[in-house]
Amino acid sequence: MINTKSLEGSQMLEINFGPQHPSTHGVFRMNVFLEGEKICALKPVMGYLHRNHELIAENLPYAAVMAYTDRLDYFNSMANNFGYALAVEKLADIEAPERAAYLRVIMAELARIVNHLMLIGFLLNDLGAFFTPVLYAFREREKILDIFEEVSGSRMMCNYFRFGGVKRDVSAETLAAIKKIVAGFPAFLEEFEALLTENEILCMRCQNVGVLPADLAVNAGITGPVLRASGVNYDLRKVDAYGLYDRFDFKVPLGKKGDVYDRYYVRVLEMRESLKILEQALAKIPQGDILNKKALPFLKAPRNFKPAVGEAYGRIESPKGELGYYLVSDGTPQPWRYHVRAPSLINLTVLEDMCVGQKVADAIIILGSIDIVLGETDR
């Protein structure tokens, strides 16, 4: 664990980062071992927000769990819903109609933009650019949350997806409002990037810090923008082509070095790609049903929904990485086993590897660049 030889003649200092540290949100702790200002070991400690989401879900009918998935990664309830809906649809063999599938893609991509905006804002906060970038990001995020409120009734806990479709249809006015946001977003990104991307302080703090080699990232099961910043081309939207993602033309941005700066920049580029997907989806969205007829009876009587005995693993590219749901059905209204493969938890596997040898102040931005949400890590 700790190399005691390097400590000869100097004194090792053990400090607790968090749970009260501002960048750990009061729910995450790092046990850091320091030699001077250099980190020689780091152990993440979690569980502060643990409520056994999986046990709760195993005692509820399938449909009731949808509202609980909102609380996993509470910045992206739309993405969480998507993954769960996909897994149950696999299990029960239901498909979403065309219009609903388009609405799902639109909502998932808007959620991705919200997530990346928040991440970049708070990463800059951790760097010491206190709250100015966050407020620029929040200004744009507010517009998207207004859309979420309009379509689902809630800004953050959307609970919008249903098995075989979505909860409510979206009016033409709302679609026009989304179009307006998408059209105006590049201008904001230009402004945001002009302030940040080539900023000297940002470059000095982020470049060559927390480097994650590609082979380690693959072996440790790292997914999402963190994996792609290390130069590994693996995006489930391309690989699995779930939903309708094979119909849209978009690129998968990759980093070169895998340092904090690459992780920041990959996310900026991903927002631009999300805008491309949104433009295409908004242009092509057809009229039609928003719920599969097979799923209709279960909306009012969720306990009648009893998938056949079997199991399914549904996974999506959530903004944080691969979000997977593993379900085992025993033919009763509740799942026999329900498991969430949380990207926020698994991406923490390499936190120590990235931090060892760096300065103590860098641990904060390395943690920030992984992008964890403790609601999902601890479940």
CB-count burial class (<10 Å; 0-12, 13-18, 19+) for 283: exposed
List the interface residues with another protein, window 337-356 (CB under 8 A): 337, 339, 341, 345-346, 348-350
The residue among 1 and 172 lying less far from another protein, judged by its C-beta, is 1
By the rule CB under 8 A, 251 interacts with another protein: no
Among all chains, which residue has been given the structure tokens 């239901």?
94
By the rule CB under 8 A, 322 interacts with another protein: yes
Q: Residue 212 in contact with residue 354, Cβ under 8 Å?
A: yes
Non-local CB neighbours of 216 within 8 Å, separated by 6+ positions:
350, 353
The residue among 46 and 189 lying less far from another protein, judged by its C-beta, is 46
Q: Residue 113 in contact with residue 358, Cβ under 8 Å?
A: no
The tokens of 239 are what? Answer: 């690989």
Q: Which stretch binds another protein (CB under 8 A): 40-48, 70-78, 110-118, 130-138?
A: 40-48
Q: What are phi and psi of 44, to 5 degrees?
A: -75, 140
Closest approach, Cβ 126 to another protein, in A, equals: 23
The tokens of 127 are what? Answer: 């760097």
Q: How far is CA 299 from CA 5, 38, 243, 306, in A?
A: 64, 56, 21, 13
By the rule CB under 8 A, 89 interacts with another protein: no
Residue 90 has a CB neighbour count (10 Å cut-off) of 18
Closest approach, Cβ 18 to another protein, in A, equals: 15
By the rule CB under 8 A, 376 interacts with another protein: no
The residue among 138 and 313 lying less far from another protein, judged by its C-beta, is 313
Q: How far is CA 314 from CA 86, 117, 237, 324, 344, in A?
A: 6, 26, 13, 6, 17
Q: Which stretch binds another protein (CB under 8 A): 15-23, 46-54, 183-191, 365-373?
A: 46-54
Q: Which of 145, 216, 254, 299 binds another protein (CB under 8 A)?
A: 216
By the rule CB under 8 A, 59 interacts with another protein: yes
By the rule CB under 8 A, 282 interacts with another protein: no
**Before 19, cis peptide (omega within 30)?**
yes
By the rule CB under 8 A, 55 interacts with another protein: yes
Closest approach, Cβ 305 to another protein, in A, equals: 16
Q: Which of 324, 333, 368, 375 binds another protein (CB under 8 A)?
A: 324
By the rule CB under 8 A, 378 interacts with another protein: yes
The tokens of 38 are what? Answer: 């250099």
Residue type, 69: T
Binding site for another protein (CB under 8 A): 1-2, 4, 31, 41, 43, 46-47, 50, 52, 54-55, 58-59, 216, 218-222, 232, 234, 239, 309-311, 313, 315, 322, 324, 326, 328-332, 336-337, 339, 341, 345-346, 348-350, 378-379
